[in-house]
Amino acid sequence: MTSFDLRRLALRSGEQHRERVEVELAPLVYGGQEYEAEPNPVPAELVVTRASSGTVFELAFEVSLHGPCMRCLAETALPLSLHVREYQATNPGGDDELRTEYLEDDLLGLSAWARDAVALELPDKILCRPECAGLCAVCGKDLNVEPHEHPEESVDPRWAALQGLREEPTP
């Protein structure tokens, strides 16, 4: 996993460090399916800005997730462009809002941060295209390739008595 050692920076208040980094992303499991990041490692730009009250971290990168469409299971790619920001106060006290969970012992966890940013940017469903028809519930064929319908099946004999009640005229 990729991390960035902040001990090598000697920033004073108002100074900024900008660096190109390569961030390794683990596969993302979403909706029971696995999605791989491409390219991997992901080229990113890290900006560290020292402020009088703490440090601001910014990470910008573009990545494409490759995996199955959630409707038809065809291979699909989801391009994402992210620009995320975290803040770490010099003296955060007990306030979790003033600290970042990705910083531990002056090591900034870039892989975990980038993975969480990607997860937060995901749509409800990853689809090959918005109008994807999915798979047929009866035979399992891809409805995008072979649109079809099945004739309505006969009533299950166990429910036949109820069907007869439905067909009786009401008093």
Domain boundaries, the chain: 3-121
At residue 12, the 3 state secondary structure works out as coil
* pLDDT band for position 33 (cuts 50, 70, 90): very high
**Residue 140 parent element (H or E):** none
Count of CB atoms situated within 10 Å of the CB of 7: 8
* pLDDT band for position 40 (cuts 50, 70, 90): very high
* pLDDT band for position 29 (cuts 50, 70, 90): very high
| Per-residue pLDDT tens over the stretch 100-140 | 999 999 999 999 999 999 999 999 999 999 999 999 988 99
Q: Is the pLDDT of residue 90 over 90?
A: no
